[in-house]
Structure 1
Amino acid sequence: MERILHIPIVVFVLGASLFCRHNAIPNELFMPGEIDVWGGLEEEGFFDHPWWRSEGVDGRRPVSVDGFGAVGDGVTNDTQAFVDAWNKACSMKNAVFLVPEGGRYLVKAVRFNGPCADNLIIQISGTIVAPDEPKDWDPKLPRLWLSFSGLNGVKIQGGGTIDGSGTKWWASSCKINKTNALTIDKSSAVKIQDLTIQNSQQMHFTISRSDTVRVSNVLIASPANSPNTDGIHISGSTGVVLQNCNIGTGDDCVSIVSGSSNIKMKNIICGPGHGISIGSLGKGNSTDTVIGVVLDTATLTGTTNGLRIKTWQGGSGAVRSVRYENVVMNNVSNPIIIDQFYCDSSNPCKNLTSAVKISQVMYRNIQGTSKTSQAIKFACSDAVPCSNIVLNDVNLLLHDGTAATTTSCNCAVGFDYGFVQPSVECLRSTTTNSQCQQQASQNGDDDTMEDNERAYSAHTEL
């Protein structure tokens, strides 16, 4: 027992020395190509690409949807005109696929597939609007509205609006047969800037199976009561940058799920919504990973969660190398939360011992107010405890300005330095964390533990 008690103390001392002297983690803890989230990242040029350097459209060959018969009155079906204009623009070097300013173009579900000729710009200056009747949707494309796939070195810009007309969809069901507004799939070196995406049927903007994607100056807006309308959803992608984005939705402002790595977010405004989330991960006993995430400078206002990592029981894999810094919370219900007992289900979830491993998570310079008394919650698995959870310069008060906030820990191991309010002494609880580590070593990856063997009960999303 004496050896077990000494282990976390050694980890804390070594960890504190590393953070205080270098703010870094030894390179051997990182996989090849993985971001060192404990250090800095280049502000400009991060995941930059030479194809992005020409911002304008001068000297290019415009291919306007109007030239292919689009009416732009918001009533006429302009889908075929968009398809024909795309086929032409995609085949030409230095082309501009143009949606002109002032038009309101009704477009049904459509796939814009590449690869395309070099240096394509997609210029959305007008408004693209979806059909507002779910019954008018193409049953062959139940999950997509505007999908761009197989692109390389493309810019999407223009100052226009993508409007999902989601009101009737929100009333019909929660998650079934709903469509995501804008999708970037299987693409590389794509830059999206200066767009508004609003009132999506479900997720506003999804980035899937792609690499080197930069999103900047994007406004996303839906009502707080619109279900499952995530702002930006990143799945199976690497090298994604979100910068200067203002997101208000009925679900997560940003959600990052399995297979994603090297994600950087800078200057994010979030609210209303469910916060900025990693996960959910591990559903259906799946193996999921998210590695290398940085959020630097964000403001969250009135959200149901702040900085959240959420995983289902029974999964496996890892969330590792995450840094949140320079974040302001305004009346946020759960400012800092790790939840390895996530259960977004009307029925109670079965208690299982296997879990997605969460480690190397840092919260630095987190300030503001909590709507609830429990400002910090680390609900980690008994069998797969959270490790290397670090807080530095955190000051979270109740929304009325008093300091009566609390912290809850279950099998979370870490430390704090600098000023931290509320106290996270529970991260250092030698007895509790040693018991969790001992149970973890005894159980291994076994997921057959009976319900009555677990003290922590599952709960549903707030």
Structure 2
Amino acid sequence: MLQVKGTLVASPDRSSWNENNRRYWIVFRGVESLAVSGGGTIDGNGEVWWKNSCKINTALPCKGAPTALSFHTCNNLRVDGLKMLNSQQIHVSVEDCTGVQVAHLSITAPGTSPNTDGIHVTHSSNVQVRDCTIKTGDDCVSIEDGTHDLHITRLVCGPGHGISVGSLGDGNSRAEVSGIFVDTVQLYGTTNGARIKTWQGGSGYAKNIVFQNMVMNSVKNPIIIDQNYCDSAKPCKTQVLTEKMGSAVEVSNVVFKNIKGTTISKNAITLNCSKNFPCYDIALQDINLKMEGGSGGTGSTCQNAKWRKSGIVVPQPCTGS
């Protein structure tokens, strides 16, 4: 067991990191039955890194910055009751781990801080995240390749980019994500609410995903699937995909259930799917999303999506298709 009682503060000098270790600050690797708690604070002192990010200063080259707290190949892991502040980049990363419980974390960074994901999960299985409050400049929770059987419950998110599955399939890579269950989430002023994002040209799947019991407060994109995601300095060209050239990350069996609240954009539901590999088995159930301030009705857009609805769904699915 590791107890964090006081405050750990990262060096404000970027030269404390070299090219070999610039992606990590505090790392636990290959530890069995590790428990990290104590109620203390881990402060990444990230402002100097943010100023030198290519997303803030486009004249600078894009380089990675440290993740504040990383867990690699740790099984039967417990992380509870920590405060995370101003990470240089990602706050908490769980990678190649099995049997993980993350609870009662308070994660805070400015909404303008680049790439400061709250909790990042990749290549891990049997993971539970519960009772956390996350206010950052990027995804509150980012769920990436190799994540299976992840449960997220009782989360408060915002500012930030919401709860994101992806991005998946960048650089024509294969990605596999399944068994994602997101339940009881409140979002405040986030860019997205419940999101799945994949790059063109990838392969693999994102399937068996549930977003339910979510309350949106002034969220820009409350419900969004984007199979044409592009986060690149150069515009991404639309690819003509064939079996020989590759495919898309297949998105299927996704449920959006009991989602209500307000949006600041007209399109409260966006299903932007691949022409050659449409997303399918998309269920919309008991949804009520209204414009912030009651200024007009909400709408939705769909491309290449095979969906069904049940209960009352506002806005009507795919009115703009």
Short-chain TM bin: over 0.9
Q: Residue 364 of structure 1 is aligned with which of 242, 253, 257?
A: 257
SS, match of residue 169 in structure 1: helix
Q: Residue 203 of structure 1 is aligned with which of 70, 74, 90?
A: 90
Q: Tell me if structure 2 keeps the 8 A contact 1:396–1:403.
A: no
Pairwise CA distance, 1:345:
1.1
Give the corresponding residue for 1:410: 303
SS, match of residue 284 in structure 1: helix
Q: Deviations over 1:269-293 (max 9, x none)?
A: 0000011100000101101011010
Gaps of 5+ in 2: 55-61, 242-246
Distance change (3 Å), C-alpha of 1:426 and 1:211 = farther
**RMSD between aligned residues:** 1.3
Question: Counterparts of 1:329 and 1:173 in 2: how far apart (Å)?
Answer: 30
Paired residue type of 1:370: T
Pairwise CA distance, 1:339:
0.4
Give the corresponding residue for 2:30: 150
The reply on whether 1:276 has 2:163 as its aligned counterpart is yes
The aligned runs of 1:437-448 (5 Å cut-off) are none
The aligned runs of 1:387-406 (5 Å cut-off) are 387-402=280-295, 404-406=297-299
Q: Deviations over 1:232-270 (max 9, x none)?
A: 000110011000000010111100000110000000100
Give the corresponding residue for 1:180: 67
Give the corresponding residue for 2:147: 260
Give the corresponding residue for 1:420: 313
Give the corresponding residue for 1:238: 125
Pairwise CA distance, 1:135:
1.7
Question: Counterparts of 2:185 and 2:215 in 1: how far apart (Å)?
Answer: 6
SS, match of residue 135 in structure 1: helix
SS, match of residue 50 in structure 2: helix
Paired residue type of 2:23: R
Paired residue type of 1:369: T
Q: Tell me if structure 2 keeps the 8 A contact 1:125–1:161.
A: yes
Pairwise CA distance, 1:126:
0.9
Paired residue type of 1:155: A
Q: Tell me if structure 2 keeps the 8 A contact 1:376–1:406.
A: yes
Pairwise CA distance, 1:425:
5.1
Q: Which has the larger radius of gyration?
A: 1
Paired residue type of 2:279: C
Pairwise CA distance, 1:350:
2.2
The ranges of structure 1 where at least 4 consecutive aligned residues each deviate by more than 4 angstroms after the TM superposition are none
Pairwise CA distance, 1:426:
5.7
The reply on whether 1:170 has 2:63 as its aligned counterpart is no
Q: TM-score, normalised by structure 1?
A: 0.65
Q: Deviations over 1:161-180 (max 9, x none)?
A: 00000010100123514110
Structure number with the higher helix fraction is 1
Question: Counterparts of 1:129 and 1:139 in 2: how far apart (Å)?
Answer: 21
Give the corresponding residue for 2:58: none
Question: Counterparts of 1:308 and 1:154 in 2: how far apart (Å)?
Answer: 31
Paired residue type of 2:109: S
Pairwise CA distance, 1:137:
1.9
Question: Counterparts of 1:392 and 1:284 in 2: how far apart (Å)?
Answer: 34
Gaps of 5+ in 1: 1-120, 430-462
Give the corresponding residue for 2:213: 326
Q: Tell me if structure 1 keeps the 8 A contact 2:299–2:319.
A: no
Question: Counterparts of 2:37 and 2:165 in 1: how far apart (Å)?
Answer: 27
SS, match of residue 153 in structure 1: coil
Question: Counterparts of 1:343 and 1:408 in 2: how far apart (Å)?
Answer: 19
The reply on whether 1:127 has 2:14 as its aligned counterpart is no
Give the corresponding residue for 2:111: 224
Give the corresponding residue for 1:161: 41
Pairwise CA distance, 1:196:
0.5
Paired residue type of 1:252: D
The reply on whether 1:190 has 2:74 as its aligned counterpart is no
Distance change (3 Å), C-alpha of 1:322 and 1:195 = same
Pairwise CA distance, 1:403:
5.5
Paired residue type of 1:282: G
Paired residue type of 2:160: G
The aligned runs of 1:83-98 (5 Å cut-off) are none
**Count of residues paired in the alignment:** 308
SS, match of residue 288 in structure 1: strand
The reply on whether 1:375 has 2:268 as its aligned counterpart is yes
Question: Counterparts of 1:177 and 1:309 in 2: how far apart (Å)?
Answer: 23
Q: Tell me if structure 2 keeps the 8 A contact 1:403–1:422.
A: no
